[in-house]
């Protein structure tokens, strides 16, 4: 029996011994053989921390979910607001290409609103809009551009494109973040829907750049040159007017 016990003891010790030399080997390499033991103790202590961190991550998860829904409400308001702003921008634009771009993006925006409603549904939440101050500011800026620029000019179109691109960039940042959040929360369908909209916003941004680069910026620069020429001509006329003023006075006298 004793021998059997010894054998059993030896057997049970063997795996421990086997792992021990490995640690010792690595330890010897580092010339710090005693550090292997405290590591085991640290691992034991880490166990209760794990469940605490699990609870923490559950808190984080629900906080993240709340933030996700809040951000959805924000962009939902923004998109709805854009369905009112885009027709105004379309009417204010001069270039047919730009008018078409705004018209097409209005149709896309309406689809994007429906996609957001689908995401709300996935979350089991009612689709609610929460005022987005950033989008309100961006569309106000577009409105003041319309008021401050002349109708029918390429300069107004350039300014409208810039205003529209600021909107697109805001949307790209928002949808990029939302798609990432959906992935983190394990919401694959939501991620896909948000990703589709993200791509549309990126395409719109690129299209606006192309419209500006192809035609409108050049026209606006020419407009600027024309304006400078006109100003110079006006100056010349003013000088001529001064010279002629005496004659005009005489003519006026004749009329009377």
Cβ of residue 170: shortest distance to Fe ion, in angstroms?
Answer: 9
Give the number of other Cβ atoms within 10 Å of residue 198's Cβ: 22
Contacts of 77 (CB under 8 A, 6+ apart): 129, 130, 131, 132, 135
Q: Which is nearer to Fe ion, 103 or 223 (CB)?
A: 103
Q: Which is nearer to Fe ion, 157 or 171 (CB)?
A: 171
What residues between 91 and 120 interact with Fe ion by CB under 5 A? Answer: 109, 112
Q: Which is nearer to Fe ion, 28 or 114 (CB)?
A: 114
Q: Which is nearer to Fe ion, 94 or 109 (CB)?
A: 109
Q: Which is nearer to Fe ion, 157 or 201 (CB)?
A: 201
Cβ of residue 138: shortest distance to Fe ion, in angstroms?
Answer: 11
Q: Which is nearer to Fe ion, 83 or 184 (CB)?
A: 83
Instruction: Identify which range of 29-37, 48-56, 170-178, 243-251 contacts Fe ion by CB under 5 A.
Output: 170-178
Q: Give yes or no for residue 157 binding Fe ion (CB under 5 A).
A: no
Instruction: Report CA-CA distances (Å) from 28 to 15, 17, 34, 67, 78.
Output: 20, 16, 10, 51, 63
Q: Residue 72's closest CA among 166, 177, 164? A: 177
Q: Residue 82's closest CA among 35, 116, 48? A: 116
What residues between 16 and 75 interact with Fe ion by CB under 5 A? Answer: none
Query: Structure tokens of 10?
Result: 């030896």
Q: Residue 213's closest CA among 166, 146, 154? A: 154
Instruction: Identify which range of 20-28, 119-127, 179-187, 193-201 contacts Fe ion by CB under 5 A.
Output: 193-201
Residue from the set 74, 157, 201, 205 that interacts with Fe ion by CB under 5 A: 201
Cβ–Cβ < 8 Å for 191, 179: yes
Q: Give yes or no for residue 171 binding Fe ion (CB under 5 A).
A: yes
- Cα angle 95, 90, 108 (rounded to 5 degrees) comes to 115
What residues between 118 and 137 interact with Fe ion by CB under 5 A? Answer: none
- Counting residues that bind Fe ion (by CB under 5 A) gives 4
* Cα atoms in the Cβ-side hemisphere of radius 13 Å centred on 125: 17
For Fe ion, the binding residues (CB under 5 A) are 109, 112, 171, 201
């Amino acid at each position: 029996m004793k021998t059997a016990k010894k054998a059993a003891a030896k057997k049970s010790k063997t795996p421990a011994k086997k792992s021990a030399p490995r640690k010792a080997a690595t330890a010897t390499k580092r010339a710090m053989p005693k550090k292997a033991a405290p590591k085991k103790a640290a691992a034991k202590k880490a166990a209760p921390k794990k469940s605490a961190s699990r609870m923490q991550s559950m808190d984080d998860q629900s906080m993240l979910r709340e933030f996700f829904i809040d951000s959805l409400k924000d962009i939902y308001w923004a998109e709805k607001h854009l369905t009112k702003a885009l027709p105004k921008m379309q009417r204010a634009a001069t270039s047919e290409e730009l008018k078409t771009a705004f018209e097409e993006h209005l149709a896309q925006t309406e689809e994007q609103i429906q996609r957001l409603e689908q995401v709300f549904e996935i979350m089991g939440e009612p689709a609610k809009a929460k005022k987005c101050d950033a989008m309100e500011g961006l569309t106000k800026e577009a409105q003041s551009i319309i008021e401050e620029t002349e109708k029918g000019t390429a300069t107004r179109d350039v300014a409208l494109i810039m205003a529209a691109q600021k909107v697109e960039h805001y949307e790209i940042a928002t949808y990029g973040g939302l798609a990432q959040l959906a992935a983190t929360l394990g919401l694959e369908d939501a991620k896909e829907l948000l990703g589709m909209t993200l791509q549309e916003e990126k395409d719109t941004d690129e299209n606006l750049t192309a419209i500006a680069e192809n035609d409108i910026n050049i026209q606006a620069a020419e407009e600027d040159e024309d304006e400078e020429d006109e100003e110079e001509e006006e100056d010349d006329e003013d000088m001529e007017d001064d010279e002629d003023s005496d004659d005009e006075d005489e003519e006026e006298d004749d009329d009377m």
